[in-house]
Amino acid sequence: MKFRNVLITTGFVVSVGVAYITGYNNGIEDMQPKLVAVSNEATDYLKEVRHLNELNKALVDANDYLLEQLERPVYLSDMDVTFNKNFNVAKFRISAYSPYDDRNGINSDGNPNSTATGTKPGPGTFAVDPNIIPYGSEMIILYPDGTVERGRAEDTGGAIKNYRIDVFRHTYASAMKFGIKDATVIWYKQGGE
């Protein structure tokens, strides 16, 4: 009689004995159906784990792709830029924040699902100093490389003073990759304010 051990690498170990009859009957025939059933269950479990791992990887890849598409740059030549005649323009220092992925503890005030104005943060959410740019202002950020980001002043933060703006990013890695940039910002309130 020979035994083979099966190792399952999902955080715990299961040892399964599989019996092979070598030509003589010593009473192990009664155990063979049970051992084969356990072996089949282990094989099915391994297939399921492999399938779930592949499915999980596909979902992670799809999610990463969608986040990249949401954060890809838009160029001025691709935009229909319209705004009312009562607008303001100034140079600002722009950084990024990720309230849903607050690894450094400074990207949200304890509730990542709500901005200072009570909205849900997402693409186009900008954190501003409301003494410079009033909440609710429509904003267009013109980066030196020709890319444009459009959004609304809906949030603020402890480091957001004077001519400083934080732009929303989904992940901490995206926010860190964004870095700090100087850009021209156009803002205006609906209704001509």
Secondary structure (3-state) at 65: helix
Q: 178 - beta bridge partners?
A: none
Over residues 76-105, the mean pLDDT reads: 75
Strand pairing of 88-97 and 164-168? parallel
CB 50 within 8 A of CB 150: no
Counts of helices then strands in the chain (DSSP H, E) = 2, 7
Go through 157-189 and write b for each residue having 16 or more CB atoms within 10 A of its CB, e for each that does not. beebeebbbbbbbbbbebbeebeebebebbbbb
Q: 1 pLDDT exceeds 50?
A: no
Task: Compute the distance between CA of residue 11 and CA of residue 155 in angstroms, rounded to an integer.
Answer: 42
Percent of the chain with pLDDT over 70: 63
Mean of per-residue pLDDT scores for the chain:
74
Which two structure tokens, joined as six digits, stand for 85?
């005649």
Secondary structure (3-state) at 185: strand
Lowest mean pLDDT among 16-25, 42-51, 154-163, 183-192: 16-25
Which two structure tokens, joined as six digits, stand for 167?
């732009």
CATH of 74-188, one of 2.160.10.10, 2.40.40.10, 3.40.50.2000, 3.40.50.2300: 2.40.40.10
Q: 10 pLDDT exceeds 50?
A: no
171 φ/ψ sector (left φ>0, alpha ψ -120 to 50, else beta)? beta
Q: 156 pLDDT exceeds 80?
A: yes
Over residues 95-111, the mean pLDDT reads: 76
Confidence at residue 31, expressed as pLDDT on a 0 to 100 scale? 56
The domain locations on the chain are 1-70, 74-188
Confidence at residue 54, expressed as pLDDT on a 0 to 100 scale? 78
CB 132 within 8 A of CB 163: yes
Write out pLDDT tens, residues 136-147. Answer: 999 999 998 888
Percent of the chain with pLDDT over 90: 23
Confidence at residue 126, expressed as pLDDT on a 0 to 100 scale? 94
Confidence of residue 27 (pLDDT cuts 50, 70, 90): low
Task: Compute the distance between CA of residue 74 and CA of residue 92 in angstroms, rounded to an integer.
Answer: 19
Q: 167 pLDDT exceeds 90?
A: yes
